[in-house]
Structure 1
Amino acid sequence: MATSQSSSSAIIFAIGAVISAALLSFGLTESVQNFRSFDRVVEVKGLAEREVAADTAIWPLKVVRAGDSQSTIYEQLDKDVQAIRAFLLVNGFDENELSVSSPNVLDKLAERWATEDVGFRYTGDQTLTVYTNKVEQVRELRQQLSELGKKGVSLSGNAYETQVEYHFNGLNDIKPSMIEESARNAREVALRFAEHSDSQLGKIRTADQGQFSIYDRDSNTPHIKIVRVVSTVAYQLVD
């Protein structure tokens, strides 16, 4: 009787072990399949670009003078700045759009390595800067600077120092639509990839909105800007 009970227990134990092993195998198989499914990810990038016009201009107008009298240099600089101010005001700019730097006068004989043969002893410069949203007026009026020259105003010929800076400050107004566009473009790329790989697009795993960049369209049109953003999105692929 004891032997019969032992045999029954052994059989029951064996059956239980087989069932347990089968369940464990099934569970492992499902886990691996789920893991592989979860691990199938495609990462894509979506680009959005806009061409926009600059909405702000910073225009420095620098006058330079040279001579042997310091007081004369200051007088000439002040006269030049006042002539530029009048020129700008009569052409549609406002007083609050103009700012003037302090005059900078250099005594060349006071320099460490100066010699008696320095030509004019004093040189001076002063800058009037226009900060405005009247971008087109700046572009048009720059073509008329010869009028100041005809009045005896000594403008600096240094192209770098007198270069106009054009800026676009309306980024916040177009950000939402550009982010939406870049995300939509990224999804279209992911959908095409899923189609070619006989998969379906699942949920978003990760998403990264790149930084916005603003740059000149080209060197000849700095008043026209290109705004660009690239979004990176990772999607899960499912069967």
Structure 2
Amino acid sequence: MDKSKSIAALILGGLISFGIITFGVTTSNAVIDMKALERTVTVKGLAEREVKANIAIWPIQFIQVDNDLTALYQTAQEKTERVVEFLNHQGFHRSEITLSLPSIEDRQAQGYVNPNVRFRYAAKVTVSVYTEQVDLLLATRTRIIELAKDGIAITTQNYDGRTEFLFTKLNEIKPQMVQLATQNGRQVAEKFAKDSESKLGKIKRASQGQFSINDRDSNTPHMKRVRVVSTLTYYLKD
């Protein structure tokens, strides 16, 4: 009986040892596989595209002066109508033109009279054009000097009088740009994998950066450069 129990104990012990060894080998392989999965490379993919603005905002400003407030208002109104007429003649619709209330300055309101100032009142008038006809606006700006024949001197130096160009069709080009950024990033990752004698695996993580829209340069603000950078993490394998 004792002999049978000893044999059974030996068999059981052998099975337990075999199981522990097998479990250890399996666990070891799993750890190796996990470490292999931890081998990654993180790259950035860039996509840039040059586009033309599809919206233009053009504030046309002039200043009218007079010592008589009533005469000032009448003259400013007549010249405003002339500016609108000029824009209509160039091809802009009335719906694209906005008139702002004149900003009138009384140069003697503070009780101090500058002897070099000939006129007491100055009215700043702004006629704004908001249009999708960007090419027409660019052409019209070169002909705005024609208003000088009517005694209208357009102000161009003020910061708030600069023309603004916008690109509002980003959603139309987003998918293609994200795809290009991803392809660019993958090319960089493949080059890294080749140099490190590895193979590129699947994407572990990807994040899309923010899109930026900037003027191409200061001389052509109607041309925009759209840019996006995507960050991609790939698995590496042997």
TM-score (norm 2): 0.91
Given that residues 55 and 132 in structure 2 are in contact (C-alpha distance below 8 angstroms), is that contact kept between their aligned partners in structure 1? yes
Which deviates more from structure 2 when the two are superposed, residues 216-225 or residues 13-22?
13-22
- Identical amino acids, percent of aligned pairs: 38
- The alignment status of 1:115 with 2:118, answered yes or no, reads no
Given that residues 63 and 80 in structure 1 are in contact (C-alpha distance below 8 angstroms), is that contact kept between their aligned partners in structure 2? no
The equivalent of 2:210 in structure 1 is 211
The equivalent of 1:82 in structure 2 is 81
Given that residues 63 and 77 in structure 1 are in contact (C-alpha distance below 8 angstroms), is that contact kept between their aligned partners in structure 2? no
Q: Give, in whole Å, the separation in 2 of the partners of 1:117 and 1:217.
A: 45
Task: Trace 1:21-170 onto structure 2 (pairs within 5 A).
Answer: 21-111=20-110, 114-117=111-114, 119=117, 120-170=119-169
Given that residues 105 and 123 in structure 1 are in contact (C-alpha distance below 8 angstroms), is that contact kept between their aligned partners in structure 2? yes
The equivalent of 1:183 in structure 2 is 182
Deviations 1:152-197, CA, capped at 9 Å, x for gaps: 0132242422211111122222111111111111122222222222
Q: Give, in whole Å, the separation in 2 of the partners of 1:151 and 1:217.
A: 36
Cα drift, residue 51 of structure 1: 0.9
Q: 5+ residue gaps in structure 2?
A: none
Question: Which residue identity does 1:91 align to in structure 2?
Answer: Q
Question: Which residue identity does 1:146 align to in structure 2?
Answer: I
Which deviates more from structure 2 when the two are superposed, residues 200-209 or residues 93-102?
200-209
Question: Which residue identity does 2:77 align to in structure 1?
Answer: D
CA-atom RMSD, angstroms?
Answer: 1.8
Cα drift, residue 9 of structure 1: 4.6
Cα drift, residue 22 of structure 1: 1.0
Cα drift, residue 117 of structure 1: 3.3
Question: Which residue identity does 1:116 align to in structure 2?
Answer: V
The DSSP-based 3-state class of the residue aligned with 1:110 is coil
The DSSP-based 3-state class of the residue aligned with 1:232 is strand
Q: Give, in whole Å, the separation in 1 of the partners of 2:19 and 2:109.
A: 98
Aligned length: 236
Q: Give, in whole Å, the separation in 2 of the partners of 1:110 and 1:90.
A: 39
Question: Which residue identity does 1:34 align to in structure 2?
Answer: D
Q: Give, in whole Å, the separation in 1 of the partners of 2:212 and 2:227.
A: 5
TM-score (norm 1): 0.90
Q: Give, in whole Å, the separation in 1 of the partners of 2:232 and 2:157.
A: 47
Given that residues 215 and 227 in structure 1 are in contact (C-alpha distance below 8 angstroms), is that contact kept between their aligned partners in structure 2? yes
Deviations 1:48-77, CA, capped at 9 Å, x for gaps: 111111111111001112222211221122
Question: Which residue identity does 1:93 align to in structure 2?
Answer: F
Query: Where do 4+ consecutive residues of structure 1 move more than 6 Å?
Result: none
Q: Give, in whole Å, the separation in 2 of the partners of 1:223 and 1:158.
A: 18
